[in-house]
Chains A and B, each alone.
Chain A
Amino acid sequence: MPNSPMPKDAMPDFEPITGRYIGLDISGERHRIFVEEAGQGPPLLLLHTAGNDSRQFRHLMNDAAITERFRVVAFDMPYHGRSTPPDRWWLKKFRLTTESYLGIIRAVWLALGLEKPTVLGCSMGGAIVLKLAARYQGEIAGIIGLESSAYAPGRYNDFLHHPAIHGGELCASYTYGLNSPYSPEVNRRENWWYYAQSGPGVYQGDVYFYSIDWDAREDIKEIDTKRCKVALLTGEYDYSCTPAMSEAVAGAIPGAHFALMKGMGHFPMIENYPGFRPYLLGALDHVAAAV
């Protein structure tokens, strides 16, 4: 059938998400960062997983029950997704650290004027929100940590960035089993695709943070849940951050809310959003009720 023009009364099937680029100075380097937004209300800032980008949150950002209550903001970390690496990136090995990660989040947060945001992060994002809560507890409403660990050794290896191995296919396959076997295949495969698109060494550089640099076992003891609410959600099939690892975090933070997500894996927001949604709404009620 030949291409036919769209009927005059038909509307393009746009989603309510809008994306923009923002110029930012972070640690003396100029960055071009991709930011996407949906909804209105108090800010809800989203942090994607290692070696991935903000597309992981597309279901959440299309959920009217969330966007009617919150200004939902997600961004691609430098080197990830549609954010451009800084000048002279080819002269350094990409290595995310706890401090550089905090600096990036803080720069985006301030540039966008997010006042008392609720910060939700998954995996490495679920880790760093613990440090955000410890350091900035007077300035954020609360945190929602998905697959949150205070200490997560064991994910780093040399093959993640190796000239004899297709890094995209390895990183995507290496993370595929972190999904629950019960999550819909189409969603697990979508996440595989995003992983496969990661730049060379970017996933490994993130895992350097997650499995080598990261240790917040002492920091989390400083979190005062009267000043900064804490909700932690972890999938039953997550073997990178096991439910026991998140429970240990919750146990060290009096007043933290923890829920085990049955039948869920490491990527709840993308692998099975309908299954994740009730837990998310409960966590938002806990964390942002007073906002």
Chain B
Amino acid sequence: MQQGIWIGGRSDLGSFLSQPADETFVGFVVMSNFPGAAWLDEYRDRVNGDPELNVIGEWFNTTFTLTFGDHRYALKIDQGKIAEIIAAPRLDVRSSFGFTAPVEVWEKFLGPDPPPLYHDFFAMLMRVPEFRLEGDGLVAMQNARALHRLMNIMRETGMPDA
């Protein structure tokens, strides 16, 4: 099981990383874009070490996406654990649903003192139009309990370093 944050799938698709064309593509790179590789690493570790998800996550098996502004990630969930985070997933990375919002919205959600309406993903779904659930809402709501815990762990992980 891969535990790294895999940026892209194959070297021939490395151009989307906006790297200079003459640079050799490497699979694991340090991202400067929000929320950043270090934050995603920490988030994955918190999710995978979470005692509550050990209790409630057994049947949470799907892939869903998180989109921060222009940057999209697919999270492969296996029994409530993050098996893999795929940056800029290609068309062959299937996902059932996803959350998308501008970076400014995510920053409010992840901040230490979230403003009202930005303190919970259900609150944002109802009151923040820029925060959207895309894809199959049925799968999302079938997993509401574990998914909610996963999203709340984002808040516990906190604001990414600048």
Chain B residue with Cβ nearest A177: B120
- With a cutoff of 8 Å between Cβ atoms, the chain B residues found around residue A242 in the complex are 116-117, 127
Contact, CB under 8 Å: B145 / A165:
no
B142 near A: Cβ within 8 Å? yes
How far apart are B148's CB and chain A's nearest CB, in angstroms? 5
Q: Convert A134-174 into 0s and 1s, putting 1 for each residue whose CB lies closer than 8 angstroms to a CB of B.
A: 00000000000000000000110001001011100110111
Partner of B142, one of A166, A238, A240: A166
Chain A-chain B contacts (Cβ-Cβ < 8 Å), number: 58
- A208 CB-CB contact with B under 8 Å: no
Select one of A154, A174, A236, A239 contacting B144, CB under 8 A: A174
A169 touches B144 (CB 8 A): yes
Question: Is A159 a contact partner of B137 (Cβ separation < 8 A)?
Answer: yes
**Chain A neighbourhood of B126, CB < 8 A:** 154-155, 239-240
Q: Does B28 contact A (CB under 8 A)?
A: no
Chain B count of residues within 8 A CB distance of the other chain: 18
The answer to the question of A86 belonging to the interface, with a C-beta cut-off of 8 Å to chain B, is no
When distances are taken between beta carbons in the complex, the residues of chain B under 8 Å from A237 are 116, 119
Closest to B122 in A: A177
Per-position binary interface string of chain B over residues 113-151, scored 1 when its CB falls under 8 Å from any chain A CB and 0 otherwise: 010110111110011000000000110011011001000
A174 to B140, CA, bound (A): 12
A159 touches B123 (CB 8 A): no
- Please tell me if the beta carbons of A173 and B144 are within 8 angstroms of each other in the complex: yes
CA distance A177 to B121 in the complex (A): 8
Tell me the nearest residue of chain A to B117, going by C-beta: A239
Asked if A165 contacts B116 (CB within 8 A), the reply is no
Cβ-defined partner of A181 (8 Å) among B120, B137, B144, B145: B120
The 4 residue pairs across chains A and B that have the minimum distance between CB atoms: A177-B120, A239-B123, A173-B144, A177-B122
Q: Interface of A with B (CB < 8 Å)?
A: 154-155, 159, 162, 164-166, 169-170, 172-174, 176-178, 180-181, 236-240, 242
Interchain Cβ contacts under 8 Å between A and B, 25 examples: A154-B126, A159-B137, A159-B141, A162-B138, A162-B141, A165-B138, A165-B141, A165-B144, A166-B144, A169-B144, A170-B141, A170-B144, A172-B145, A173-B122, A173-B144, A174-B122, A176-B120, A177-B120, A177-B123, A181-B120, A236-B116, A237-B116, A237-B119, A239-B116, A242-B117
